[in-house]
Structure formats: structure tokens, C-alpha cells
Structure 1
């Protein structure tokens, strides 16, 4: 989302130059400097990391933090359920009542705008300068999490949103030679699966997976630069290029299951490895689900039960999302919070956390030898010279919560009426409403 910030609520990526200048100014006395409330006796870390893998990763971070900060009590305030929805509801209440945790988890990017505009979290530019983080993180990533020249969170991990999971046996039966490389090829493959097999061409889950599919089709048709431009001030969502992408999206939806809304992403992904569906487009957290052991994993085998590739048309682009941590204003134990942020942003901390979580480090200097299987592939892609980054709007990078909700509403209506023109009109309105 590199571009001017303007006055748009969700213009979340400032120009690189202004970001660098602002960071330099903040380093000389930014909002996160000073000695006020430097209490390091405790740190309460608020997250939704309670599931398999992520809870193990958090435990590893906690152990390393306690080793490095023996005088600081670590309080794990993780709340389970709803992929963070329940945790965010509790967090909103605490912030409103001015009882913030010392640090809380949030998706890096525009999802944090409500907290920023409400004055509930502090900029971290001085923290970045003091810990040499601007050289540790990819420049494109920093550009895409910068708002009006300031950075407000510390990314811990990176997930990839634009992944295609497919069943090689079904593709063979359909006469499809491999993973489709373009949206046009994808539609052809879906048609072949429908005509030549009795399998579901593309498995879809709850409504949010249709939003997730939409961002992948937009990226596949438009390319990284034009996709990123959609989230800048004055973007034209009524353009012929967007119309073409939405036309393709409308066609692709025809090959999904009618009962899709009855299951979440796990059920839709499972259909592929169980031999019931040919394709599923989902983030790379699906890999851990496929290969993990029971009761939380399926114990499936790569290259036998499933294969993977970038979603059609997106090879060379990493559509990313990231869990990150913040410094709330009025944190009761500010010193503890800064010590936690140092742990979460460190090479050692990220290399302890990510192999267990099933993600890759946001830092560029991580230990490659720790990442095996799909994670080795993801690590190489994330660090590949020339890779382009595109933020996932559904997972908090590009769109504010309001814009996110408006898009979701538009997709929900589209799934009922299948009217592409109304969908595009609603997306145009959503962008305009967010800019007001």
C-alpha cells in the first residue's frame, strides 16, 4: 500500500520517505520515549493464542522472556474462541474502561486504526530505532504497516494468504496437468473437474472464506501493484480491470458448494485431502491442519493427499498477514511491556515461536534451518529477492474494521443474489464511505 496518506481513514501505508523521516524524528524523542511508568515488575500479555501450535509458540516465547527478564512476572491473558473475535470484544471493553493490558495482539496494518485514532496505542518508532528493527524487517513490510509516518506494532510472524491447496488424484482424473497458473486457467480447470468427475471443483466454507477468495481473485487478475492501489486514496473500484476480476469471481463462485455456509475453513480444506473436492484457496495455516497429528490435525501426506501452489495468477507475490503486539497508552507496567516487545521482535524469540505456530518470522535474519516442509518453501518465498508484497484486506492489513465490514456485507448479499454489478457498486460505495 505504498502511497500518500491523505485524510482517508485507511490510508495505512505512508510513503517510504516520509516514514523514514518520521521514524528518525521519533527516534530523537518519539511518543514511546521517556521514563514515565517504567515498571518492569510484571507484564500482562493479551492475545488469542490458545490453539494448537500457537499456544506452544507462546509458551516458548514466555520461557525465553522469563529467562532474559528474571525479575518480571509474565501473565498470560490469552482468551480462546472465535479466531480472536471474543478476545477483541473483551479488549475493547478494557480499553474503553481505561484498564489496558501491558501489550495486546492485533493484526499488523489497518486493523489497528481504530486503536490509533482513539489514542489507545503508542507509536513505536523510538523502540524500532533503539533495537535496530528497521534494518531487521523487510522495507516493503514496514511501508505497509506505517500510518502517517509512524509504526504502531511489532510483527512477530508472517502467514501467506494466497495459497492454493489441491488434490492431485482428482486433477489427474479431470485431465488437469497441475496447479493452474492464471485465473483463466483456474476457471478452465474448475470446469474440467465438474464435467469429468463427480467431485466438488472448489470447496468453500463460511462466508468469510468467500471474502478470502475475493481478495485472491482480485490479486490474481490485477497483479500486486494494481491490487495494492485499490487501498490507496482515490482508488477506482469501478474500473474495467476490477469489473473483469469480479466477472471472474462470479464465474468461479458457480463451481463452489451450495451448502458452503454450513462449515468453516477447516471443513472446506478437509474436503480436499479427503478426496471430495479438487481445490481450496486458504491461508498457509491449512498446512499445519493437514499434516498435524490427531486430535487437532489430520495426519495427511504432502504430494499424496494434497499439493500446494500460489493461488492462480499470484506467483511472485506474497499476500501477507501478521500477528503483532502493541504498546497501549497507560500500560500499567510499561517497562515490562517494552521488554515483551523486545522479546517478540527478537531473532531468538521469532525463531522459537514460528516453527511451532506454523508461520515464518517477519525478520529477515531468521535461522532458515529451523523451517522444514512447507515452512521452508514459505521462508524462501518471503525472503526471495524481488518478491512483491500485497496485504490481505480480510486479515487486517489494508482495510479498517468499518471497510472490512462493508466489504463482508457486500459479499454476503452477492452470495444470495449473484449480481456482479451490485457487488461492484457496493464495493465502490464501501471505498468512498471509508474515505469520508
Structure 2
């Protein structure tokens, strides 16, 4: 079993939503500033607790410790379910005036949950290391918040991927690269269902962000990038939103694994790979390219041979944008050590060591693609050359934490069986219009 930062740890729907709601409800305004003592120990929290995530962060921290052996460091995994546990721990620590040195998190609108509690790294890190010239402008924008630069980006995941088992598609006579629309995709799923013994679409529904992120791809494919952008800006087309939900319902009612309601994405993705005890029994899965980080850990499941990928049908030329970063709190307990760490996060060494194992790509502009794996070298080129970069809604960039939580609640309450497309659409629209 391959685990990741959104591991399948048995957390139910209500617990998941409650954890997100608790995180979003806390506020930090006025709690901490840019001052602080210097304990001498670098304490860093992150959410990569198993599998490829653990391997990637181990490579990152080992490289740091080798380069900065004089820094006493303490790297702590706090894992599970889309950063819910990590965010809760961070907010508890910050509101109790017990900040850590740095923590892994999503930048962009996600930083709203830490408003008033972040350190400004612009002068000591960004300007000192010249990162404004060597990191992509889009990432710079997302790492700027409340007139500060409290974060340094580590890597980017593309969200609009369809990963597929080549044997299943060949057996069904389906050409993944020819799927130009959601209609084509539904026809392909139906063909796989009729012509093979594979489950057409591997899916996990235990956490509602999985349905939310798939719905976002469907909306974009059926109605265009502008329809998605209008939605996250609070001007969504209700009919288009319902149409996308109805398509998601068709997929979930007819083409997914029978245990979808009780599993998360790692268990779903394992159905594509299979293992010695349970051979592969699913044809494809949608997800961020962290799934590549899972697949690469299996020496018998090789890119271009046993598995391949295509853009989610109808999203060719689009890079659905997601970022991982490290963020520094204000009143920092180890200011100098934190600055040393945040500088390291932006280096070529850090970004290559971490991303090659995690399945994400560096955000520096001066990376030699030859230093990345073949799949990631291709993704790095897409990161720089795509036509549009809509921000992910399920991972903190597109909307503020409370709205993101409410979007997940709309899916969790109305679209994980039984299905109510109109109620889910109203919940989604209400979430982004506040």
C-alpha cells in the first residue's frame, strides 16, 4: 500500500469536515508578529507521513542537514487527509503562542487562516537569494500575502491529469489521447465497462475534496476555463455547475469501484497499480500528479509501459495549478535558523531532490529538465508553456479557507450519495459568494 500526505487513515466524512471547519474558524489577527526569541532549534512541521511523500521530504531534509550540519533541526510529520490534521496542529500552536519555526502548507488564499501570524521573508530570503528573478512569477504572486512574503514555494502539482492502465485501455480498444471531451470520456468508460473486467474509473469518496476536484475538471471541460474562473470569483453559472454535477453523478453511479464511499485516493490509486495479492482491477483515475509519485515507487509499473497519462478530457493546454510551500510564522522561535531553512527551500538542490520523488515539479525558472525524471521533465515544460493556469479549488489557492470548507461541505452533504445536484450547486455558489 502506498500512502501519501492525504493518507487513508479511516477518518470519516463528518470528522474530515469538522476538522476543516475548526481550522477555518480560528483566527490569528493580532496574536503574533515578526519578533520572537531564538531557541537555536529549527522545528519544521509537514504533512508527508508515508510512501512517496515521506521519501520526498526525507530526501529534502537529508540534503538540508548535509549542507547545514551546524543547524540543530527537528522535522515532524503531522499527517493525514489534505492537511486537515497539520492545519489544526499549526493553528493550535500559533493561537497558544507556541509557534514552530516553519511549516509546510499551501500558499495563496489558504494563508488567510494565518492572517496576522506570519513572518515577512521578503528581505532576508527573497531579496537576499534573488528568488524574485529565479522563481516563476505566478508562484511569487501566490506566496505574497497581506503585504508580506511569508512563504517560499517548493513545487507544483498539475491537477488535471487522467492516469490510466495501458492494458485496460488497449483491451477495450480505447485511445486515451483521442478523448477530447467529457462526452468522449463517458463513452470510453462505457466501453471499458462492457468490453473488459476492469472497473472503468477508480475513485475515492471518503473525503469530499476528491469529488470537488473532479467536479472542477468536469466544469472546465464542459464549459471552459472562464466558467471555472467565474465560479471561484463568485459569479458562477448555476446551469453549468449543475450540468457538471450531473456528469459527476453519472460517473459515480455507473463506473466507479464498489468500495468508493469508504476509501480515499491512495487506496483508489492502488487499484490501478495492483500488487501481488490484488492484481490491477481499475482502468483510470483522475488526480494531481502526486499519483505519479505513487506509481514510480512500484518497479513493475512503469511510465509509458504499464501506465500512461493524458490531460483530463477537454482540458488540453490547461495546467490546473497547485503549489506546496513552506511558511514561516511570526514571533519565530528560531529566526536565523528559519531564514537558513527558507533560503534552502528555494534552491535548485531542494527543489530537485524533493520533487523528483514527490511527483511535483520545481518552481524555479532555471531548472535543467534533464535533472528531472521523464514524466516530470514533460510536466515542467507544461508548467512553463500552458495556455491557462486556473488555481485549484480543493487545495487552497482558489478560495479562502472558509469558502473551500463550504465547497467541500456542499459535496459532502449533497453529492456522496444520495445525489442532489441542485442543492449541491446552491451550496457551491453560496460558498464562493460570501
Contact 1:110 1:145 in 2 (8 A): no
Residue 409 of structure 1 deviates from its aligned partner by 1.8
Within-5 A mapping of 1:86-235? 86-116=85-115, 119-126=116-123, 127-147=125-145, 149-179=147-177, 180-205=179-204, 206-208=206-208, 209-232=210-233, 235=234
Q: Following the alignment from structure 2 to structure 1, what is the Cα–Cα distance between the partners of residues 141 and 220?
A: 19
- Cα RMSD of the aligned pairs, angstroms, is 2.6
Conservation of the 8 A alpha-carbon contact between 2:162 and 2:310: yes
Task: Give the Cα–Cα distance (whole angstroms) in 1 for the partners of residues 64 and 154 of structure 2.
Answer: 14
Task: Answer with 90-99 or 299-308: which moved more.
Answer: 299-308
Out of 403-412 and 328-337, give the one that drifted further.
Answer: 403-412
- The structural deviation recorded for 1:281 is 0.5
> How does the TM-score come out when normalised to structure 2?
0.82
**1: CA distance, partners of 2:318 / 2:284:** 20
How far 1:345 moved relative to its partner?
1.2
Q: Distance in 1 between matches of 2:239 and 2:52?
A: 43
The equivalent residue for 2:277 is: none
Residue by residue over 1:264-291, the C-alpha shift from the partner in whole angstroms, topping out at 9 and shown as x without a partner, is 2122122233442222112212123223
Shift in CA distance, 167/93, structure 1 to aligned 2, threshold 3 Å: same
CA contact (8 A) 2:36 2:330 kept: no
Deviation of 1:98 (Å): 0.3
CA distance in 2, matches of 1:145, 1:330: 19
Say if 1:123 and 1:152, in contact at 8 Å, map to a contact too. Answer: yes
Give distance in 1, aligned partners of 2:406 and 2:183: 28
Determine if contact 1:140/1:389 at 8 Å carries over to the other structure: no
Match of 1:4 in 2: none
C-alpha separation in 1, matches of 2:410 and 2:265: 20
CA distance in 2, matches of 1:167, 1:353: 26
1:178 and 1:327 map into 2 onto residues whose CA distance is 42
- Unpaired stretches in structure 1, ≥5 consecutive residues: 1-9, 11-30
- Aligned-pair CA distance for 1:144: 4.0
Give distance in 2, aligned partners of 1:263 and 1:270: 11
CA 1:70/1:289 → structure 2, altered by over 3 Å: closer, same or farther? closer
Q: Structure 1 residue 70: deviation in Å? A: 4.6
Q: Is the 1:238–1:424 contact (alpha carbons within 8 Å) kept by the matching residues of 2?
A: no
8 Å CA contact 2:261, 2:416 repeated in 1: no
Q: Deviations over 1:39-93 (max 9, x none)?
A: 4833211212332343343344334434554542122233344453333322222
Q: State how far apart, in whole Å, the 1-side matches of 2:207 and 2:427 are.
A: 17
The unaligned stretches of length 5 or more in structure 2 are 1-23, 25-32, 275-279
Q: Matches of 1:72 and 1:320 in 2, distance apart?
A: 33
Asked whether the equivalents of residues 141 and 389 of structure 1 are also in contact (C-alpha less than 8 Å), the reply is: no
Superposition deviation, residue 421 in structure 1 = 1.6
